[in-house]
Chain A
Amino acid sequence: MDLTGGFGARSGGVGGGPYREPIGLESLHLGDEFRQLATTTSLTPDNAGGSFTALLELPPTQAVELLHFTDSLSSSQAAAAATTGIGGGDIIIAPPPPPLHSFGGTTLTFPSNSALMERAARFSVIATEQQQNNGNYHNNETPTSSVPSNSSDRVKTEPPETDSAMENQSLCPNQTNRSGKRKDFDKKVKSSTKKNKSSEETEKLPYVHVRARRGQATDSHSLAERARREKINARMKLLQELVPGCDKIQGTALVLDEIINHVQSLQRQVEMLSMRLAAVNPRVDFNLDTILASENASLMDGSFSGTAMQLAWPHQALETEQSFHQRQLQPPPPPPQQWPFDGLNQPVWGREEDQAHGNDHSNLMAVSENVMVGSANLHPNQVKMEL
């Protein structure tokens, strides 16, 4: 058989696969159908009669569309499409929908497939002989006996028909494949410039539009893999910039090791510092109310920047020492809702906020050191107060 010889290399696994194949594979895809038809059914048409004449009325593109539908969609859809595609209500395909469905891969019944083959043969002939489409009754006898020899013609006529049918086919899987990620295959990549096009990735949208590079597999799985790998690589670059000394290291494994070491060292530092704080702690009272009272007296900075104004208590940002002492005597203002702390510390935070929201690193250092110095100095005072 010409068919089996020509397409022997191609496995039959394409039948149920994704439909976004490049154009070159489409002809092979259809070749599978014909091979299945040829090998599993007899070539002599058993179903004679009215069905042929009915089928002859169909234009070739719709017939090929029917062929595609039998392969890709369910029987109901195929039947619906067939009946609508025909247009006229009087022309109904005599073989009922089940034969169309059975072609999809289960056990094939003889009459239906021969009818399909007849259709295919006929319409390929019609396609090549488009100018002789008057009634088509002349073609009745010729295809029936020459079905095997038509296979080669069929193969040649497939490519022009696939282009028209491609649109129809690509639309249907579109409707069924709409899930989280959608990949747009750029078929022009292969025929366009020889440079590699960079694959784009938008992280904001729910869809990830990835362009297949030249010479790379356009399988949906490999595209997903590539998109994911690039996401990971982008984030790894981010981490590399963060961790000191990672820029010079070559290779992802070492970089990752370095990152992990950095995280571990930071956590160990936190533990070490908390131990030191615990050792220091009993000496120092962390009662910030009194700390800040003295600290404000010592810290006469004019360092309240504009950002302090944006905080919850902008009206207090510019208070001076005198107003602070005055406010101390007054009941503390109600806290804003930003700080979900308990009532004890809320007034304290108000005051501390004013000082602690300087922008500079040095500012904060000064503040923290002054706080601590103030606390250390205050210790005897506090003892007196508590007594």
Chain B
Amino acid sequence: MASADKTINTDVPEKDVFAIHFLQSLSNLRIQNLFNSPDTTNYRVRKIKKAAYVSMARAAGGTSRLWSRALLRRAAKGNNKIVRFPRRKRKVTWKISSKRRRSDQRAPVVEDAAERLRNLVPGGGGMETSKLMEETAHYIKCLSMQVKVMQCLVDGLSPK
């Protein structure tokens, strides 16, 4: 069991990498002149949130993680950008049906939770449960890092 832990790699870059990416995305937003005359705050909020997620995905390792890959793809679809990803060795999509049918038999407690996780973690739909958990661990680390960065920003920027 201990040897298995060593092979699972959930390293996440330092906070500054996240900070750089986030600040860059924010300045990109700024350059787009969105904030001069916003119609609704919602639009701005959504843009910032999306920028946060995209920058997090980029900072966390680009396309080498399944969740970040799915996140970036989702974001690019929204922008109608054509995104090219490096070709993966295996296509994951066809495995969903075959594994889902059998997974209901396997420890239904775990599989219910896995289903909920799949809805939460981006790109979870094509993953098997064990892979899903690995991705979740990395995702949690990255999310907490991003939250810290944003917290610092907000604290620095808020009026004293």
Q: Which A residues form the contact surface with B (CB < 8 A)?
A: 198, 200-204, 225, 228-232, 234-239, 242-243, 252-253, 256-257, 259-260, 262-264, 266-267, 269-271, 273-288, 341, 344-345, 348-349, 352-353, 356-359, 361, 364-365, 367-369, 371-373, 375-376
Contact = CB atoms under 8 A, between A and B. Distances in A.
Given A225-B106, A288-B27, A353-B20, A243 B140 contact: yes
B155 A369 contact: yes
A273 B8 contact: no
A267 to B, nearest CB: 7
B64 interface: no
B8 A252 contact: no
B95 interface: no
Interface in B111-142: 113, 116-117, 120-121, 129-130, 133-134, 136-137, 139-141
B82 interface: no
Contacts of B31: 344
A273 B49 CA distance: 9
B141 to A, nearest CB: 7
Interface of B: 1, 3-5, 7-8, 10, 14-16, 19-20, 23-24, 26-31, 35, 38, 41, 44-45, 48-49, 52-53, 106-107, 109-110, 113, 116-117, 120-121, 129-130, 133-134, 136-137, 139-141, 143-144, 146-147, 149-158
A274 B140 contact: no
Contacts of B48: 274, 277-278, 281
Contacts, number: 179
B133 A232 contact: yes
A356 B116 CA distance: 37
Contacts of A229: 106-107
Contacts of B150: 270, 273-274, 277
Contacts of A277: 26, 48, 150, 153-154, 157
Nearest to B146: A270
B154 A280 contact: yes
9 contacts: A201-B3, A230-B1, A231-B130, A239-B137, A277-B150, A280-B157, A345-B28, A348-B27, A367-B16
Given A263-B117, A372-B156, A235 B137 contact: yes
Contacts of B152: 364-365, 368-369
Contacts of B141: 242
A231 B16 CA distance: 33
Contacts of B129: 232
B136 A263 contact: yes
Given A203-B4, A236-B133, A263-B136, 4 more contacts: A266-B143, A277-B157, A282-B38, A345-B28
Contacts of A357: 16
B32 to A, nearest CB: 11
Contacts of A285: 30
